Amino acid sequence: MTPDELIAACGGRDNLRRALKVSETVIIELGDPSLRTEQVASLPFNPALSQITWKQEVPLTADEWQYFSDIIDESIRQQISALRVTEPACFRPQWHIAPVQGMLNDPNGFTFHQGEYHLFHGLYQFSGKHKDRCWVHYTSPDLVNWTSHPVALCTSDWFDSHGVYSGHAVSQQDELVIIYTGNVRIGEQRDRLSTQCLATSADGIHFTKHGPLIDELPPGVTPHFRDPKIFRHHDHWIMLLGAQEETPDGTLRARLALYRSKDLRDWQYCGLYGETLNDGHFGYMWECPDLFEADGQLFSMLCPQGITSHSQFYTIPHHCGYVKATLDAEDNLSLREFRHLDHGFDFYAPQTTQAADGRRLLIGWMGMPDETRRPSTQEGWLHQLTCIRELTYQNGQLYQQPARELQQLRGAEKIIRFSGVSSREVVSLTSKCFELQTRFRWPQQGQITLRLMDNGEYYCDLILDADNQRIMLDRSHALPQDGDTLREIPWPDKQDVSVQLLADNASLEIFINDGRYVMTSSVFTPTDACRVQFISSHPCTWQDVSCWSLRQHATDTKVILKSSA
């Protein structure tokens, strides 16, 4: 049988879901198995997976594999273009990047290339489930206005059929080079295959996949091996990967795997690193590593899973933070002093890039793994990206501040002044898309509460809790969703608190003391919850509040549903 005869007997091109390679056997997954004809009746069929096994005497050529992937790619794009947007979508953000349909996760490939910023993110368009992710693609001249492009990478190939997983991009003269993890699951036991794959684009919009560059696991490493970060080090390239090492006694330890290359194609394995962090015991997996320099200090970002929680209120296994790093001339990496990067509920898998003017920029996923119950799923979408932030390293501390370009979203400044002493002030805003800046004297006793996105019944509280010397974020009075409801920042030094807060319908990003601490959170309250209250357990004098409404950015998000030409 030729591939064309097989496809016809499988019910035609539109019925092909995946073409998997197991050794030299071809496994074809079908959308509707009842469309199979007699011609394939003799081939082994697994009804649970809807998969046919086609053993070949002569292995398929690269062109034949490409033929299968082109068909699957076209079919996925057709299904995407048939999707319809659910309206109204009251929770959808006005100025953050969020999907119109489906579930978003990690930002990917954030890079500056030929005068524009490129940004991708993982998306499963067809439901709010953690499933076969593709990379969708945006570009921006200014970090504010984003244009969406055809899906950059679909799950169409034998090496990424169950997920175009996370990765980075680098700009190489005319070429935009992406290295990502191809995720494949085999059999009913869903054995995981992870390879590190290459894709390139000459026009910055259409991508050609070149398949796996690294298709073997390092010794002792499990298939939890993913999320390449690429960066230049002296005269060569380095790739960092999140890895899980299994020790002879069966213990699973998180590590970073490091590879080296001269040409971004041919990669040489250098080793596993991470034994300097917490005596080598710091969770069972580190996802989405990054490595960057800020004001002369090298940092690595990691998303450790399974570490001991730093707070009684933090009950989930997924964390995200940074460590100080050193990388010597022989490419030995050393990591120390893990700290959380964000103190809110929803911040994961951040990536950094260097701005055209040299600033270090960061964007993260405003969502968490395993948390899929959110009110926005009624509108067909789930999760969003954070705002873009500038990172600086000052006086031994890492600071995050909203990228200065975001000021372009502001309407006219409104200054709110409260006279005299009071224990409650109420400000009614016209929408839930706003920026607010103010300061608080640290209370001598009791609590000061900044009540946000409030309609009397639903709200989210930022609490300066003098009695317990901590700042709390409490979303237990918002609409229910998966995840924790309390977060804390210990505040033993009792210093005053400045707040810069960016709100966007169903999210709050709270920058405390010039970005020394950040609390990033999805918060769902009804559309009429536009009030902000200032509440104090003891009457006090309130500082002036500056407020701006934030306008919609110019992204035509609906374009995302168009298939590629």
Residues with catalytic roles: 106
Q: Does 105 bind ligand FRU (CB under 6 A)?
A: yes
**CA gap 209, 391 in Å, rounded:** 32
Residue with smaller CB distance to ligand FRU, 157 or 227: 227
**CA gap 63, 69 in Å, rounded:** 10
Binding to ligand FRU, residues 245-304 (CB under 6 A): 287-288
Q: Does 319 bind ligand FRU (CB under 6 A)?
A: no
Residue with smaller CB distance to ligand FRU, 161 or 437: 161
Residue with smaller CB distance to ligand FRU, 55 or 129: 129
Residue with smaller CB distance to ligand FRU, 107 or 515: 107
**CA gap 285, 364 in Å, rounded:** 19
Residue with tokens 């198995």: 33
Which tokens go with 533? Answer: 């209250």
CA distances from 388 to 96, 97, 385, 403 (A): 9, 10, 9, 6
Task: For 352-412, give the DSSP string.
Answer: EEE-TTS-EEEEEEES-TT----GGGGGTEE-EE---EEEEEETTEEEEEE-GGGGGGB-S
Contact between residue 320 and residue 341 where contact means Cβ atoms under 8 Å apart: yes
Binding to ligand FRU, residues 42-61 (CB under 6 A): none
Residue with smaller CB distance to ligand FRU, 180 or 237: 180
Q: Does 122 bind ligand FRU (CB under 6 A)?
A: yes
Among 77, 133, 253, 383, binds ligand FRU (CB under 6 A): 133
Q: How many residues bind ligand FRU (CB under 6 A)?
A: 15
Least spacing, CB of residue 97 vs ligand FRU, in Å: 16
183 bridge partner residues: 194
Q: Which stretch binds ligand FRU (CB under 6 A): 160-168, 255-263, 337-345, 350-358?
A: 160-168
Q: Which stretch binds ligand FRU (CB under 6 A): 22-30, 76-84, 159-167, 425-433?
A: 159-167
Least spacing, CB of residue 121 vs ligand FRU, in Å: 9
Amino acid letter, residue 173: Q
Binding to ligand FRU, residues 216-235 (CB under 6 A): 226-227
* Phi-psi sector, 290: left (phi>0), alpha (psi -120 to 50), beta: beta
Among 181, 520, 543, 555, binds ligand FRU (CB under 6 A): 181
CA angle 293, 340, 253 (to 5 degrees): 90
CA angle 224, 229, 232 (to 5 degrees): 145
Residue with smaller CB distance to ligand FRU, 383 or 451: 383
Binding to ligand FRU, residues 357-396 (CB under 6 A): 369
Q: Which stretch binds ligand FRU (CB under 6 A): 162-170, 308-316, 320-328, 350-358?
A: 162-170
CA distances from 221 to 196, 390, 549 (A): 14, 35, 50
Residue with smaller CB distance to ligand FRU, 348 or 399: 348
Q: Which stretch binds ligand FRU (CB under 6 A): 93-101, 163-171, 211-219, 555-563?
A: 163-171
Handedness of CA 302, 146, 129, 160 (dihedral sign): negative
Phi, psi of 403 (to 5 degrees): -55, 135
Least spacing, CB of residue 125 vs ligand FRU, in Å: 13
Among 110, 158, 165, 259, binds ligand FRU (CB under 6 A): 165
Among 49, 349, 361, 478, binds ligand FRU (CB under 6 A): 349
3-class secondary structure, 150: strand
Least spacing, CB of residue 196 vs ligand FRU, in Å: 11
Q: Which residues contact 330 (CB under 8 A, 6 or more apart)?
A: none
Least spacing, CB of residue 383 vs ligand FRU, in Å: 10
The residues of the shown chain that bind ligand FRU, judged by CB under 6 A, are: 105-106, 122, 133, 163, 165-166, 181, 226-227, 287-288, 348-349, 369
